[in-house]
Structure 1
Amino acid sequence: MASIPFNPASRAQRSPPLDDPATMSTGRKYLIFAVMAFGQFMALIDIQIVAASLNEVQAGLSAAPDEISWVQTAYLMAELVMIPFSAFLTQALSTRWVFALSAGLFTISSVLCGMAWNIESMIAFRALQGFVGGAMVPTVFSTGYVLFTGKQRAMIPAILGMVSVLAPTLGPTVGGWITDAWGWRWIFYINVVPGALVCIASLTLIRVDRANLSMLRRLDWVHLGSMAAFLAGLEYVLEEGPKNGWLDDSGIAVAVWLSLVSFVLFLERSFRSSGPIVVLTPFRNATFAFACVFNLVIGFGIYAGTYLVPLFLGRVRGYNASEIGTTVFISGIAQLLGVPLAAALSQRVDPRYVITAGLTLFAVGLWLFSFMTPEWGFAALFWPQVVRSFAIMLCIVPSVGLALGHFSGPQLRYASALFNLMRNLGGAIGIAVVTTWLNDFSRLHYLRLGEAMGASPREAESFVTGLTRYLHAYTPDPDRALQMAQSFFGRLAGREALTLAFDDVFRLMAYSFLAALVLVPLCRPAPIQPDAPSPKVAH
């Protein structure tokens, strides 16, 4: 039988044709982008969707109090590993298959989380959910920069920045509503229909690049393992450190050394491996490096601020989940209002001016929080929340442009992954740092209040005596009335000390944003690309 000559183009001809962004209709571009942005929203909202339902999850799985926090920690640890790994996978498997697989596996792991039978299975499935879902976060950034140019591109960081901030903010509120209505397992089952739709839409619509499967044969497993150990160990230290005294705990000390050694090995493989998982060459661009610092600070402010305000309302004001959600809801509205302004300024004004205004306004918002008293509620928190939340978009949009505007092709994917990793790391570091600050400042202010009352005890004694007399009318035992009065006075002093500690923490956070302004003059923005010409229609 005659042999058939091999045609190297035949395989390419059987593959679906790629869509050229230059000739693709604007509607199709926005449809692809909307699908991917919604996938990113799903991955990000699930970080915090369990926050308001941890008590119900703990009861349903018969978990110990020190185990339940791992429902969130496991997700964050795994997501941190996937975000930088996603750039390699996108080149090896293509954007289409990475995003579709990420959405599909995220849906399956969500079902497994809802079916969890004990805390161990829940932690394992949450880690899987965070790992597979993490690929959707940076992939949409790089794909958006491939699809759009000129003025259309300016909307990419604005929309994705809004998603990145709004999703974690809405997570606890949405999770609480679902749990109250249908039970805690439905906070995971709710992902099934939208996750399946995103998976199907990704396979149908996304054709922007081709796979390079040969990269999988060169995968450096040591590089991947060292990166996973470094990032997971770092997240573990940041999560458990504030609760266990940092290096005073032997387990945390071991995790610190493991993470440090893994980081050194990760750097060695990054520069010397023939098939590195993460390429660090984007950091050779000074503006990208500075933009990553900005993103680290922004992540610090966003996640720590989102964490501190509900904590203040719960611990100082005694608000329940519904009251907290109502009070902080205004921050989401302010973020939405900042989107069109940030997008418009990014096309007309030097991004260095925009980010200067954003960082300064964010610092002002944090500074306004530093005057809180134990009586602050919705009205008093209104303007601090509005100022801080409105400034978020003025920080995120120009920082994304400064970071990604200099890259294209594979370098764009690696830059997007590293840039998004910085925001998540900033958030993890921020929550750990402000928790430590809050504990230390609370103890310090409590001691100072004790010293002040010791220096002039008459007013304190008069207050306790008057309260004892009041309580004695309801409690016949005078010793019991005195103990209740002293206990109430101690709680009152503790609340005052905690409030002063919140003020100190917000003040230090404001200083960190002002300090970041030093780097702004060192950045060099990329030139604005002209709009792509409209595709000609053949007659």
Structure 2
Amino acid sequence: MTDAVLHPDSVRARKADVPVVLGADGAPVDWVKVFLGFGGMVVGQFMAMLDIQIVASSLTQIQSGIGATADEISWVQTIYLLAEVVVMPLTAYLTKMWGTRNFYVVAVIGFIITSVAVGLSSSVAMMIVFRALQGLFAGAMIPPVFATAMTVFPPERRITANVIVGLIVTLSSTIGPTLGGHLTDLLSWRWLFFINIPVGLLVIFLVGRYANFDKGDPSLSKGVDWWGLGLMTAFLLSMQFVLEEGNDEGWFDDGMILWLTVTAVLTGIAFIWRQLVYWQPIVSLAPFRDRNFSLGIVMTFVTGLSLFGGTFLMPIFLGQVRGFSSAEVGNTMLVSGLTMFLSAPIAGRIVRMMDLRISMILGFALAAWAIQLGARVTDEWGFWEFFTLQVARGLGTMVAMIAAQQMSVASLPVTMMKDASGLINLIRNVGGAIGLALLTTILSHQTAVHYMDIATAASTANAASTGLMDGLTQVMGARGAADPEGMAAKAMSAMIRREASVLSFGDAFAALALGCWVAMALAFFTRPVKVDTGRPQGGGH
């Protein structure tokens, strides 16, 4: 195994469809070791991403176990996401300074230790502190996987590696809640965190033994941009907190949300300026000089919004409007996850066989069409009504995500891959956070708007509303209600609110679809690139 980074131009020959790659020392690369080392990193990424989903189904048990309130227990999730977002942009700098293998092993060790600490927590304060540290190490384990896929593998293998990374993103959200529920039922909620010990030890062994992909540059430890680090931390923490808590607090009606928004804007501008003028920035913005990367980042943002937004809307609708149980919601949502998981090889083949721009257009168009079906949602929609939406959206999102990520880095030099990876993962997560905040706001605002419209129409003298009110009054009277008219009015209000809620979900689906249509349009502005996939690719030059 070579100690040098395996540049794509080191591909010299292929035999039996397995590339013979020579490192800087002239020795052939042992691909078994490469796959074992990369596989260990993939398992680590899966573990880090799973830890946000696996806890979601057991928050009630955790709340009871540590004596937390409903507001306090929400921070178990929020603080993890905040910490993840903060550390992601730093991974490129740290892997360059320490080397990918050393950095990743340290991150996994930290993740295991903090997982044990979270599992042993006896109070909410203790859990929040260790959960924040766990999130820092988890965020450090995600971007290096994509960077490694783009630098270690030869060009014709990169799409396959990209598909594997896409599988991890979707698989963690698919099986996380189900796995978490079973672990809690069979053992206890503490095993949601203790399960990371054996998996983490396997990752340490594989990465420590086989992931010798590059060497660190200790000189980067001199002249660390501490001001840039501070500005970035303040910017990302403020922004993420506003997105997570803004809707619950009434957005700018709340003083803290208002001031944190101002803080995010000011520190964000100052951080970008600092990274542009400082001689050794902690987050390189150089990839943004490439037009494809800049447009690809926007499309990655939209795929994050589509991936997390669609997964957010349907469970709420099924639970609140249809009254589905957790098991029924899980069975319905499983279609989306399984589609994305099973379609990943197909998506990879589609991306590989045609121009990346065409792949992105097809992927976003399919996802937009599917999500737009939800704009016609009614209060009778269930498993089969959402089936077509989920299948088409899953395939479209997978194709769009793989193609957008591939397009983002296709024209970048290998030296920028680590910086690009950190930015891509950050933007996808931020896209998800902004998407959830936007959709939550649409649901609450549009429900109120539709309620007023329907109530106003129902209050006017018309045969339909009058007949319905009379019928409800008679039913309540027959049931022996003390105030039949009052009970009928309450029932009428509940029916109006239910209908208003359904209409607001339709608006939310429409907004989500609009984002995908916009991303599809942006694909027309990307430059054609030649991606060496082992066969000619149309459109490149």
TM-score higher than 0.5: yes
Deviates more, 1:435-444 or 1:252-261: 252-261
CA distance in structure 1 between the partners assigned to 2:451 and 2:57 by the alignment = 29
- Quote the RMSD (CA, aligned, Å): 2.0
CA distance in structure 1 between the partners assigned to 2:382 and 2:521 by the alignment = 35
Question: For each residue in 1:142-195, what CA deviation from the matched residue of structure 2 results, as whole angstroms up to 9, or x when unmatched?
Answer: 111122123321112212112112313432222222222222222111111101
AA of the residue aligned to 2:526: C
Indicate yes or no: 2:352 matched with 1:347. yes
- Give the C-alpha shift of residue 268 in structure 1: 2.2
When residues 16 and 284 of structure 1 are mapped into structure 2, their CA distance, relative to the original with a 3 A threshold, is closer
Indicate yes or no: 2:498 matched with 1:503. no
Name the structure 2 match of 1:5.
none
8 Å contact 2:302–2:515 — kept in the other structure?
yes
Kindly report which structure 2 residues correspond to 1:132-171, keeping only aligned pairs within 5 A, or say none.
Answer: 132-171=137-176
2:46 counterpart SS class: helix
Indicate yes or no: 2:208 matched with 1:203. yes
8 Å contact 1:93–1:213 — kept in the other structure?
yes
State the TM-score, normalized to the length of structure 2.
Answer: 0.91
Deviates more, 1:78-87 or 1:195-204: 195-204
CA distance in structure 2 between the partners assigned to 1:186 and 1:487 by the alignment = 45
Indicate which of 87, 96, 115 corresponds to 2:92: 87
8 Å contact 1:337–1:390 — kept in the other structure?
no
Indicate which of 59, 63, 68 corresponds to 2:64: 59
CA distance in structure 2 between the partners assigned to 1:503 and 1:410 by the alignment = 45
Kindly report which structure 2 residues correspond to 1:185-264, keeping only aligned pairs within 5 A, or say none.
Answer: 185-264=190-269
CA distance in structure 1 between the partners assigned to 2:316 and 2:184 by the alignment = 20
Q: Structure 1: which 5+ residue stretches go unaligned?
A: 1-14, 533-539
8 Å contact 2:454–2:496 — kept in the other structure?
yes
AA of the residue aligned to 2:525: L
8 Å contact 1:48–1:72 — kept in the other structure?
no
Indicate which of 474, 488, 492 corresponds to 1:489: 492
8 Å contact 1:176–1:321 — kept in the other structure?
no
Deviates more, 1:426-435 or 1:463-472: 463-472
CA distance in structure 1 between the partners assigned to 2:361 and 2:234 by the alignment = 36
AA of the residue aligned to 1:517: M
CA distance in structure 2 between the partners assigned to 1:442 and 1:285 by the alignment = 42
- Give the C-alpha shift of residue 382 in structure 1: 0.7
AA of the residue aligned to 1:80: V
When residues 124 and 189 of structure 1 are mapped into structure 2, their CA distance, relative to the original with a 3 A threshold, is same
Indicate yes or no: 2:306 matched with 1:301. yes
Deviates more, 1:428-437 or 1:176-185: 176-185
CA distance in structure 1 between the partners assigned to 2:404 and 2:525 by the alignment = 13
Aligned length: 516
8 Å contact 1:230–1:262 — kept in the other structure?
yes
CA distance in structure 2 between the partners assigned to 1:176 and 1:504 by the alignment = 32
Q: Aligned residues: percent identity?
A: 36
Indicate which of 512, 515, 519 corresponds to 1:516: 519
Name the structure 1 match of 2:335.
330
CA distance in structure 1 between the partners assigned to 2:506 and 2:268 by the alignment = 35
AA of the residue aligned to 1:205: Y
- Give the C-alpha shift of residue 19 in structure 1: 7.9
Q: Structure 2: which 5+ residue stretches go unaligned?
A: 7-20, 23-27, 536-541
CA distance in structure 2 between the partners assigned to 1:311 and 1:530 by the alignment = 41
AA of the residue aligned to 1:69: S
Deviates more, 1:232-241 or 1:32-41: 32-41
When residues 153 and 122 of structure 1 are mapped into structure 2, their CA distance, relative to the original with a 3 A threshold, is same
Kindly report which structure 2 residues correspond to 1:8-87, keeping only aligned pairs within 5 A, or say none.
Answer: 17=3, 22=22, 23-87=28-92
Name the structure 1 match of 2:530.
527
Question: For each residue in 1:232-255, what CA deviation from the matched residue of structure 2 results, as whole angstroms up to 9, or x when unmatched?
Answer: 110000011111111110011111
Name the structure 1 match of 2:438.
433
AA of the residue aligned to 2:341: L
Indicate yes or no: 2:478 matched with 1:462. no
CA distance in structure 2 between the partners assigned to 1:447 and 1:18 by the alignment = 66
Deviates more, 1:435-444 or 1:171-180: 171-180
1:244 counterpart SS class: coil
Indicate yes or no: 2:428 matched with 1:446. no
8 Å contact 2:290–2:412 — kept in the other structure?
no
CA distance in structure 1 between the partners assigned to 2:184 and 2:472 by the alignment = 41
When residues 457 and 117 of structure 1 are mapped into structure 2, their CA distance, relative to the original with a 3 A threshold, is farther
CA distance in structure 2 between the partners assigned to 1:42 and 1:457 by the alignment = 59
CA distance in structure 1 between the partners assigned to 2:95 and 2:251 by the alignment = 37
AA of the residue aligned to 2:323: G
1:381 counterpart SS class: helix
When residues 455 and 470 of structure 1 are mapped into structure 2, their CA distance, relative to the original with a 3 A threshold, is closer
8 Å contact 1:402–1:524 — kept in the other structure?
no
Name the structure 2 match of 1:266.
271
1:243 counterpart SS class: coil
- Give the C-alpha shift of residue 196 in structure 1: 1.7
When residues 375 and 530 of structure 1 are mapped into structure 2, their CA distance, relative to the original with a 3 A threshold, is closer
CA distance in structure 2 between the partners assigned to 1:526 and 1:83 by the alignment = 27
8 Å contact 2:361–2:521 — kept in the other structure?
no
CA distance in structure 1 between the partners assigned to 2:184 and 2:446 by the alignment = 35
Name the structure 2 match of 1:478.
482
8 Å contact 2:2–2:29 — kept in the other structure?
no
Indicate yes or no: 2:415 matched with 1:410. yes
Indicate which of 360, 367, 381 corresponds to 1:376: 381
- Give the C-alpha shift of residue 98 in structure 1: 1.2
Name the structure 2 match of 1:182.
187
AA of the residue aligned to 1:60: G
8 Å contact 2:173–2:337 — kept in the other structure?
no
AA of the residue aligned to 2:523: V
